[in-house]
Amino acid sequence: MNKINVNKPYLPDINKYKKYLDRIWRNNHLTNFGPLSMELELKLCEYLGVDNLLLVSNGTLALQIAYKVLGIKGEVITTPFSFVATTNTILWENLKPVFCDINPQTFCIDEQKIEKLITPKTEAILPVHVFGNPCEVEFIDIIAKKHNLKVIYDAAHAFGVKYKNNSIFNYGDISTLSFHATKLFHCVEGGALIATDNAFIQEAKKIINFGLSNSFPDSLGINAKNSEFHAAMGLCMLEDIDIIFQERQKIWMYYYEQLKDSFHIQKISKNANNNFHYFPIIFKNQEKLLNVLSILEKKNIFPRRYFYPSLNILDFNSKNQSCPVSEDISKRILCLPIYVGLSQKDQDRVIEGLRS
């Protein structure tokens, strides 16, 4: 019986990749803002409908660079329902995460609860477009303007998402993306910053290159550039992106039709499209989830408890911040296998395991 993992990275035709490798060998330019990287940035801007994009080495560093560019030094209001990298970056930069609970239907930050958490030390709001489902960006924008706060969106899951026919990345000051191998668009490893102000991108470009300006280090910086080999994979992925979306949609919709009456399914924003990145389901309680997870694993099926646990309860995070909705959802959520190449026969194995 074949193994079904929660995810399987998409690999394009190797001959496509080899064509880009030939260009790398001819150019003899391997990293440091090479021609393939520049080409990928331009093509991503066009595809995503944005003006200012910078490739970086991963999505975690993209967040850390965003804090530096925006001069964030104090408290950051964020969600406890995310991958641990979101709050790790806040703590790593010696900032303080302040956790705001989530909406039980959308799983995104509950915008109605943000304002009461604002203090004189608050400098930014860091929401997450959870599983690609957009936050209430217009409401958050009003709060940010009222209190003179910066907004950084962790948009790691939101590739290709539009809100009211506008790219979701055109909201907030900066959006950060992950191009890790598990994402529907990937560069094996990588990430990006997208900013509403090009000045932020120019500052970030210096930061990721040791703070160099005309080969002179005139400000603090690190090394967060990406290579031409990663850009080559991104260019290949972009050629296949329509196929990727079509395949994932077919799989997502089949799950939905089979399971919508048995499980709580994430509510997708009515103003946005679904990019079919994940298919999470909510069980009635944790005991049922653990029982089903055991059954599935015996059938060689490996979904993922994602996101678990709620980040506000981790010992190394700020303690004593209660987020009862996130804490509850995180115990009952399971992300099902979804990837290009997952057959309907294997989906039926997953569904049968759930029903059993």
In sequence order, the β-bridge partners of residue 102 are 109
Q: What count of other Cβ atoms lies within 10 Å of the Cβ of residue 235? A: 22
Who contacts 123 (Cβ-Cβ below 8 Å, separation ≥6)?
A: 72, 73, 74, 75, 76, 149, 150
Residue with tokens 């909201």: 171
In sequence order, the β-bridge partners of residue 213 are 216
CA dist., res. 75 & res. 118, Å (int): 9
What are the boundaries of each domain within the chain? 14-239, 241-355
> Which bin fits 213, alpha (ψ -120 to 50), beta or left (φ > 0)?
beta
Backbone angles phi, psi at 282, to 5 degrees: -115, 125
Inter-residue contact 204 to 65 (CB < 8 Å): yes
The CATH number of the structural domain formed by 14-239 is 3.40.640.10
CA dist., res. 39 & res. 232, Å (int): 10
Which CATH topology does 241-355 take?
Answer: Aspartate Aminotransferase, domain 1 (3.90.1150)
In sequence order, the β-bridge partners of residue 191 are 56, 178
Give the pLDDT of the chain (356 residues) as one tens digit per residue.
Answer: 899 999 999 999 999 999 999 999 999 999 999 999 999 999 999 999 999 999 999 999 999 999 999 999 999 999 999 999 999 999 999 999 999 999 999 999 999 999 999 999 999 999 999 999 999 999 999 999 999 999 999 999 999 999 999 999 999 999 999 999 999 999 999 999 999 999 999 999 999 999 998 888 888 999 999 999 999 999 999 999 999 999 999 999 999 999 999 999 999 999 999 999 999 999 999 999 999 999 999 999 999 999 999 999 998 876 679 999 999 999 999 999 999 999 999 999 999 999 98
SS3 351: helix
Instruction: Tell me whether strands 212-213 and 216-217 are parallel, antiparallel or unpaired.
Output: antiparallel
CA dist., res. 10 & res. 277, Å (int): 13
Inter-residue contact 68 to 216 (CB < 8 Å): no
Q: What is the pTM of this model?
A: 0.96
Inter-residue contact 53 to 41 (CB < 8 Å): yes
